[in-house]
Amino acid sequence: MRVLLISLIVYVLYFTSNTTNAYKTLSEQSLRILTNTTSPIFTDFLPSLLIPRVSGTENNTKVRSFISSKFNELNWHVEEDTFTDMTPHGQITFTNIIVTKDIKATNRLVFAAHFDSKYFDEGGFVGATDSAVPCAMLMDLAYSLDKYLDKGKQHSTTLQIIFFDGEEAFNYWSSTDSLYGSRHLAAKWENTYVIDTESSQNKGKNMLNGIEVLILLDLLGASKPFISNYFTTTSWMFNSLIQIESRLSTNNLIKLPGSLISNLKNLKGDMNIEIKENNVEDSLEEHDSYFNQFSINNYYSHIEDDHMPFLKKGVPVLHIIPAPFPDDWHKLSDNASAIDPVVVFNLNNIFKIFTAEYLNIDSIIYDNNHDELKKSNT
C-alpha cells in the first residue's frame, strides 16, 4: 500500500538542470496533427495488459514479452533488467523493461509506469488504472511520436520509457516489501558509468546523471482525476501540462472520437464486464481540469511510489498520480469497467504534446505532415 506522507519537510531537491534543449510550445497546426492521430490504446495495447500480472508469474512474463515485442517492432533499444530479490513469498525474479529511442543520446527524457499487478490471495486483480492504462498510454506515446523522433535524432536528448516490475507490495507496504524494480534499477544506474566519448558531457557521468527528468504515471484512467504538483524543481513542467490542457480546451480538442468508444465497448464486452455509459459519448462537454492548479506553489506532501529511489539519489521527478486515489484502487473492480475513455484520450494527448514540446520537434511534425500531404496529392 502506498503511503501518503504529510510533512513540512519533504524531498525538495535543488539542482542545476542538464537540459540542453529549450522547451517550445507547439504551433496550433502541430497541436491538431497530434490530437487527430488514431489512438490504438483500446485495440492494440490494453487488451494484452488487462490480465492479472503479479511479479514472478507466467502472466507477468507474458505481459513483459508483449511490451518488449511492441518496442522491438519500432526498432527501439530494448533492455530487460532481470534480478532476484527476497520477498514475503520467498525469492522472486523480477524484470524491468527499459526502452530507448536513441541509445547514443547524451540525455534522456524518461517516462515510467509499473507493469506488475498486486497480489491477492483470491487472485483475479487486473489493475486497470494500477497501472495497465498508464503502460498503454506510454506505449501509445512512443508509437504516436516515433516517426517524428526518427528525424530528431540529432538532438542530444532522447525519449526513454521504463516499465517497472515489482512496484506492489506482496503483504504490507514497507521499505523492503515494495518498489522492488525501481530500487534495484536506481542503485544499478548509480553505479553504472557512461563510456567516455569525444563529448566532454559524458565524462564522469553515471546513468542517473543523464536523466533530465523522471515522469512517473500511476493510477490513471478513472473518471475525474485530481492531480497535484509535488516538487519545486519540476513545477514548471506541471504548469506546462496545465497550459496544454487549456490550449486543447480552447481549440475544442478535448473530446473523444466515436471510434474509440466502440473499441472500449468491445473490450468490455470481451471481458464480460458491464458497460457504464457515463462519460462515454461523442460530444464536447464542460471540462473540469485534471490538474490542481493551486498546488503549483505547495510542496507539503508526496506519495511513495517508483520515483522515490531516484528522487533520493537526486533525479528530478514529476509524479503524475491522482489524490485521492480512484475509488477502485486495490479492489477487484479495478478492471475495464473502471476506465473512463474520455480521461484516457485527453491525458494521452496532453502527454504526447508535452513530449513533443519538450523535445522541440514542432518543425519536424509540420514538415512530415506537409510531405505526407504532398505524396497523397500526387
Catalytic residue selected from 102, 177, 218, 306: 218
Torsion of the alpha carbons at 271, 272, 273 and 279, rounded to the nearest 10: 80
Q: How far apart are the first and last CA of the chain?
A: 58
Residue 193 · residue 280 · CB < 8 Å: no
For the record, the C-alpha cell of 123 comes out as: 487472485
For the record, the C-alpha cell of 16 comes out as: 542545476
Nearest by Cα to 161 from 71, 273, 56: 71
CA distance 149 to 159: 8
For the record, the C-alpha cell of 29 comes out as: 497546426
CA distance 249 to 30: 15
Nearest by Cα to 222 from 132, 100, 146, 315: 132
CA distance 129 to 180: 20
Q: Name the residue with cell 461523442.
A: 282
Q: Which helix (H) or strand (E) holds 278?
A: none
Distances (CA, A) of 77 to 42, 74, 82, 96, 145: 25, 9, 16, 14, 16
CA distance 342 to 111: 22
Catalytic residue selected from 116, 130, 140, 167: 167
Q: Name the residue with cell 468491445.
A: 266
Nearest by Cα to 346 from 271, 205, 262, 251: 251
Fill in the DSSP letter of residue 218: -
Fill in the DSSP letter of residue 225: -
| 167 annotated active-site | yes
- Any idea which residues carry the catalytic annotation? 167, 218
